[in-house]
């Protein structure tokens, strides 16, 4: 999964980041509410782990903003506040789960996995399958029907992101933020270039193109119609 941590305690943030990366998740970190909100609103995260007390904006306000934006991200709120009134306030702000500090990292991992399965059932599977297109997440192989697709790592990430969000229109900026997340000099036009590369490999003669261009916005993957 791709996970956002918003935690102003830098030591704790590093520890959470490390245990999540050891589980092979992709992790981004923000240390204040404003930058955390900017990253969260990109809409590219499966789960966000958010501290309650943050500089700038607190955790519940980030949850409210995420829900107002209709983000599909699962929200886990971290706090030292353990009273029932605090928990109710956290859930009312839009949090999906609530973990009281101090906590065991094993419990954090279990809650993150549960949230991932709840919000995206494909995350717990070894395969992603949309129509006849299949990604094997263990062997990193791809096929359409019986035909194997020879994808570069960038093409793989692009197809994976489209498949995880099948039926949803993704903006060029959303795709750019996910596929090229660690590169800072990539222009949005690169998305169009790689969609073109992917289409050439994905579509054999006579096969329908499952990637729909939404003019002026971005792209959407749709399952083939019978």
Residue 209: predicted pLDDT:
93
Last-in-domain residue among 123, 157, 191: 123
CATH code, 141? 1.10.10.10
What pLDDT digit, counting tens, does each position of 153-187 carry?
Answer: 899 989 988 988 888 888 888 888 888 865 667 78
Higher pLDDT, 26 or 109: 109
Same domain membership, residue 179 and residue 104? no
Same domain membership, residue 10 and residue 108? yes
Higher pLDDT, 224 or 152: 152
Residue 38 CA to its chain's centroid (Å): 15
What pLDDT digit, counting tens, does each position of 118-162 carry?
Answer: 766 555 557 788 888 998 877 788 999 899 999 998 999 899 889
The percent of residues above 90 in pLDDT, for the chain, comes to 38
Same domain membership, residue 214 and residue 161? yes
Same domain membership, residue 117 and residue 85? yes
Last-in-domain residue among 61, 89, 123: 123
Same domain membership, residue 206 and residue 159? yes
What pLDDT digit, counting tens, does each position of 192-206 carry?
Answer: 999 999 999 999 988
Helices (H), the chain: 10-22, 33-40, 59-68, 84-92, 105-119, 153-164, 172-179, 189-202
Same domain membership, residue 118 and residue 12? yes
Same domain membership, residue 64 and residue 25? yes
Identify whether the C-beta of residue 194 lies closer than 8 Å to the C-beta of residue 154: yes
Same domain membership, residue 88 and residue 191? no
Same domain membership, residue 72 and residue 56? yes
Number of domains the chain is built from: 2
Distance (Å, whole) CA 60 – CA 90: 6
What pTM does this model have?
0.59
Higher pLDDT, 76 or 186: 76
Query: 7 in helix, strand or coil?
Result: coil
Residue 73: phi and psi, rounded to 5, are -70, 135
- Cα-based torsion angle of the residue sequence 92, 109, 134, 131 in order, rounded to the nearest 10 degrees: -20
Same domain membership, residue 199 and residue 176? yes
pLDDT of residue 225 exceeding 60, the answer is no
* 77, 85, 93 from 88: Cα distances, Å: 12, 5, 9
Edge-to-edge strands, sheet with 147-149: 127-130, 133-136, 141-144, 147-149
Least confident piece of the model among 30-34, 47-51, 136-140, 209-213: 136-140
Residue 226: predicted pLDDT:
44
* 19, 33, 40, 180 from 173: Cα distances, Å: 29, 22, 14, 10
Domain span holding position 131:
127-225
Residue 119: predicted pLDDT:
67
Same domain membership, residue 106 and residue 217? no
Last-in-domain residue among 123, 142, 166: 123
Mean pLDDT over each residue of the chain, to the nearest integer: 86
Same domain membership, residue 170 and residue 111? no
Residue 122: predicted pLDDT:
54
Identify whether the C-beta of residue 40 lies closer than 8 Å to the C-beta of residue 31: no
């Amino acid at each position: 999964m791709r996970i956002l941590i918003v935690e102003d305690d830098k030591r704790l943030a590093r520890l959470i980041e490390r245990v999540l990366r050891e589980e092979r998740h992709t992790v981004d970190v923000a240390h204040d509410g404003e930058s955390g909100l900017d990253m969260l609103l990109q809409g590219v995260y499966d789960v966000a782990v958010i501290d309650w007390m943050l500089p700038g904006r607190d955790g519940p306000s980030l949850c409210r903003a995420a829900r107002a934006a209709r983000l599909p991200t699962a929200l886990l709120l971290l706090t030292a506040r353990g009273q029932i009134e605090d928990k109710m306030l956290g859930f009312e702000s839009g949090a999906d789960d609530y973990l009281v500090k101090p906590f065991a990292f094993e419990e954090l991992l279990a809650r993150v996995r549960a949230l991932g399965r709840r919000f995206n059932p494909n995350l717990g599977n070894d395969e992603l399958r949309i129509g006849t297109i299949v990604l094997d997440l263990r062997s990193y192989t791809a096929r359409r029907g019986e035909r194997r697709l020879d994808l570069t790592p960038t093409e793989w990430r692009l197809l994976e992101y489209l498949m995880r969000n099948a039926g949803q229109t993704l903006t060029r900026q959303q795709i750019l933020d996910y596929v090229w997340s660690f590169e800072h000099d990539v222009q949005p036009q690169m998305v169009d270039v790689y969609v073109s590369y992917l289409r050439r490999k994905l579509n054999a003669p006579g096969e329908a193109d499952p990637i729909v261009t939404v003019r002026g916005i971005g792209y959407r993957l749709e399952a083939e119609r019978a």
